[in-house]
Amino acid sequence: MSMTWSDFSAADLSRIIEMAWEDRTPFEAIEHLYGLNEAALRLLMRRHLTASAFRRWRARVSGRVTKHLQLRNPQISRAYCPSQYKG
């Protein structure tokens, strides 16, 4: 399932960008949900963020083991902090 940016609604783009910024959301989850591999996600982020925000995001996710399922500690089975999303 490969999609282009024009296939995403504004809400989808916002959610993709939010997931990309989250430390515990792996790239594989974004690919599974939206069909964007890491390279396509980088292009989307470059296009939809300011240059300085894109540089901050790249610095943040580069080398972060939680962004890759294969590098992640197998004991981590959740994608968010237990205190997140409390209603």
Is pTM, for the whole model, over 0.75? no
What tens digit of pLDDT does each residue of 11-34 get? 999 999 999 998 888 888 899 899
Q: What is the mean pLDDT of the chain?
A: 80
Q: For residue 84, what pLDDT band results from cuts at 50, 70 and 90?
A: low
* Separation in Å, CA 62 to CA 10, 43, 54, 68, 74: 26, 15, 12, 10, 20
